[in-house]
Structure 1
Amino acid sequence: MSLTSTVADGAQVVTVNAQRIDAAMAIQFKEDMRTETETGAQRVILDLSSVEFIDSSGLGAIVAAMKQLGKDRKLDLAGLTPMVDKVFRLTRMDTVFDLYATLQDALDPEHAAN
């Protein structure tokens, strides 16, 4: 699992450089997210624009990453492809995470959720 991290507009942006987050990658994803986000901004944006497929294990890994951040930090999701977006909406995870069509939308204060 390849993750890259940058800081933009006071938020830490973690980009997933893989086409899938599935059972085969979920454990590595959680470990990599923990490493990337151990310290950092209050707001973490997970850029999923390269991810074409996610299964329940991948969904669970993203929820686990959110919980690892703790109560004082926030995880938002950006750049969901249509298939990944559908999974989040079907499982009602869109009520847990703020979803943004693009990374730019997530960084734009006018689009940012309160």
Structure 2
Amino acid sequence: MKLSSSPANGATLITVNADRIDASAAIQFRDSLREATATGTGDVILDLSQVTFVDSSGLGAIVGAMKQLDPVRRMHLAGLTPDVDKVFRLTRMDTVFTIHPNAAHAIRRAAG
């Protein structure tokens, strides 16, 4: 799974460069995400704007990566497509994560 990571105003912006996070990609995604978030002190912004499908395995990988963060760091989600947003709302994960309409908005909010 291809992720790109960059500093973003005190946070770390991680962009998922794939259209699906499903059972076939979840382990690789989880490992890549954990590696990308292992260091750093600021919040993590996960840009999901290219992702059009997430299943329970993908959701579990995102939650698992959030849980391994240092307690003072938060994971924000940005750019959820309609189907991905629906998964987060149906599973009530929208109450666990701060969800932003896009990465730029998340960067502004995480820095403030």
Identity %: 60
Larger relative contact order, structure 1 or 2 (CA cutoff 8 Å, min sep 6): 2
* Structure 1: 5+ residue stretches without partners: none
Q: Structure 2-normalised TM-score?
A: 0.94
Q: CA deviation at 1:73?
A: 1.3
Residues paired across the two proteins, number: 112
Q: CA deviation at 1:42?
A: 2.2
> How far, CA to CA, are the matches of 2:81 and 2:36 in structure 1?
23
Partner of residue 17, structure 1: 17
* Counterpart code for 2:21: I
Q: Structure 1-normalised TM-score?
A: 0.93
Regions of 4+ moved over 6 Å: none
Partner of residue 47, structure 2: 47
Task: Describe how 1:2-81 pairs up with structure 2 within 5 A.
Answer: 2-81=2-81
Q: Which deviations, in whole Å up to 9, do the C-alpha atoms of 1:28-75 show, x marking residues without a partner?
A: 011101111110132000000000000000000000000111312110
> How far, CA to CA, are the matches of 1:40 and 1:78 in structure 2?
19
Measured on the aligned residues, the alpha-carbon RMSD in Å equals 1.5
